[in-house]
């Protein structure tokens, strides 16, 4: 087994995931880039990074989540860091209860909660061997009553609690943490009605007076992945937005 550390970053073809992949690669880790659909973008990012590979897989499908982890280990012989960035949402006003249908709930839970669970459980045997770390990208919406939709916010609250439960369960061999970003300017918001107004509002009211950038979240993910005495933490990366009333 090579001594060079290996990171698997799900949902890393763009946005926060791509920034995380770049940050880990800059630190000398070999990175496995992943996406469910954006194959061309994922392959382009892997080609940009030193000694990286791309694997297409949908983490909401159990066999594909397991196959993704297996492909990472097959490529490099080890796994040290798992970053769960794969996620999805629907933009539904909170008052529109009918639009938040059971179908929406199931889809968001399949990706945001069950997909995270399936990828972590597949990675556990390999992370135990390396004393590895898991970092999941959650959301401020899982901590405060906000977000793009009620089902989305609840799915992220579930991820936060999962993080704490797994930290208790998997220690001392594996550390499990999460980051909870506020509004981060990513392609998620392209074409979304009201997105620009929301960005302007956040920049006007949060203590740091700007929206977040993917690199802000990537730095927090990197720090948690490399902090040997932190586990069970859900770190808010929101420019101080949680301090507002």
Structure tokens at 20: 């995380």
Rounded to whole angstroms, the maximal C-alpha distance in the chain is 53
Given the DSSP bridges, would you call strands 234-237 and 53-56 parallel, antiparallel or unpaired? Answer: unpaired
Active site residue 152: yes
Distance separating alpha carbons of residues 190 and 80, to the nearest angstrom? 33
* Alpha-carbon distances of 109 from 47, 116, 152, 177, 223, rounded to whole Å: 32, 10, 8, 19, 27
Q: Starting at the earlier edge strand, list the strands of the sheet with 234-237.
A: 53-56, 30-35, 6-10, 81-84, 133-137, 175-181, 234-237
Which of 54, 76, 109, 152 is catalytic? The answer is 152
Active site residue ranges: 152
């Amino acid at each position: 087994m090579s001594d060079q550390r290996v990171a698997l970053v799900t949902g890393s073809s763009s946005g926060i995931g791509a920034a995380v992949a770049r940050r880990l690669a800059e630190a000398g880790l070999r990175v496995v880039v992943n996406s469910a659909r954006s194959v061309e973008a994922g392959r382009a990012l892997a080609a940009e990074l030193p000694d990286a590979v791309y694997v297409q897989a949908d983490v909401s499908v159990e066999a594909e989540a397991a196959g993704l982890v297996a492909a990472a280990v097959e490529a490099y012989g080890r796994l040290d860091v798992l970053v769960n960035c794969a996620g999805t949402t629907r933009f539904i006003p909170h008052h529109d209860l009918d639009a938040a249908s059971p179908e929406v709930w199931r889809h968001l839970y399949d990706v945001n909660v069950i997909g995270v669970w399936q990828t972590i459980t597949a990675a556990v045997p390999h992370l135990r061997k390396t004393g590895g770390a898991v970092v999941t990208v959650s959301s401020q919406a899982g901590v405060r009553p906000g977000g793009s939709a009620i089902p989305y916010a609840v799915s992220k609250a579930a991820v936060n609690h999962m993080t704490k439960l797994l930290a208790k369960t998997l220690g001392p061999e594996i550390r499990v943490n999460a980051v909870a970003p506020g509004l981060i300017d990513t392609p998620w918001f392209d074409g979304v009605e009201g997105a620009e107004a929301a960005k302007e509002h956040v920049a006007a009211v949060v203590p740091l007076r700007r929206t977040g950038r993917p690199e802000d979240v990537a730095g927090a993910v990197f720090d948690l992945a490399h902090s040997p005495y932190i586990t069970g933490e859900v770190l808010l990366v929101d420019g101080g937005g949680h301090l507002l009333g």
